[in-house]
Structure 1
Amino acid sequence: MRIRRFDDVFVQTVKTSGRVVAGLHQRPEYNAEHTSNNPDPSLHPDDICLKGALLLS
């Protein structure tokens, strides 16, 4: 999970595990606008956060 700031808007991103096709990595990303730079998993659906959490383990 990462948070980036674009002007006055924070965007939180979750990357899920992906796959490799013909040597290229394909990894879905899910973005949500946020009000601060503190991570908030509740901004994303539970199934997306669970997929993203697998990358951290």
Structure 2
Amino acid sequence: MGPSGQSERLTVSREHPHSTGAESTTHTSSLHIEVLMARMRVIRRMRSAALRSRLL
């Protein structure tokens, strides 16, 4: 688990204070974008590692 995994967990734990519905939906969408970006970063890293191993 890298630092990105830790920050995601912190964001999720912060998600539960009582707030209006509008605030929670915007927070959820921004969280979703963060998760997607982290996932894309991991996929890109795995893909580059696979290419490197194929070249060796």
* TM-score bin, normalised by smaller chain: under 0.3
Structure with the largest fraction of helix: 2
The alignment's TM-score, normalised by the length of structure 2, stands at 0.28
Computing the radius of gyration over CA atoms, which structure comes out larger, 1 or 2?
Answer: 2
Higher strand share: 1
Give the structure-1-normalised TM-score: 0.28
